[in-house]
Amino acid sequence: MVVACALWGISCVQTWFYFDNYPADGLSLKAVALGVWLSDTVHQMLITQVSEQRSSWTRNLISTCIQPTPISFSTSETLQKRMKFSGASTLKSFSTR
């Protein structure tokens, strides 16, 4: 990412140098130079955005794995779920099995 930013900066300087030192060039050649610079700029914007999204996603994934959210059920909830699964209708019938 850092190398890409440095190379984009170099292309900006080269574009400025071209427009500053070659004012007599034709409009079509200037349009090509401007198009190359614009496509390079859009490319840099996109890879910066994707890089930020990827690093954000990675940070979220790592923080979730390192500090997982505990799942806790009260004992009565757990018993009720087991009763429903086993077909028991009351807590009394579940505990007498």
- Structure confidence at residue 41 (pLDDT): 95
Query: Which of 83, 77, 4 is CA-nearest to residue 47?
Result: 4
- Structure confidence at residue 82 (pLDDT): 63
* Tokens 């490319």, located at residue: 43
* pTM of the entire predicted model: 0.54
Cβ–Cβ under 8 Å, residues 45 and 1: no
In percent, the amount of the chain with pLDDT more than 70 equals 55
Tell me the C-alpha distance between 55 and 73, whole Å. Answer: 34
Question: Is pLDDT above 60 for 93?
Answer: no
Higher-scoring residue by pLDDT: 59, 50: 50
Mean pLDDT of the chain: 78
Higher-scoring residue by pLDDT: 84, 51: 51
Q: Which residue type is seen at 81?
A: K
Q: What are phi and psi of 53, to 5 degrees?
A: -65, -40
Three-state DSSP class for residue 74: coil
Q: What is the mean pLDDT of residues 66-79?
A: 60
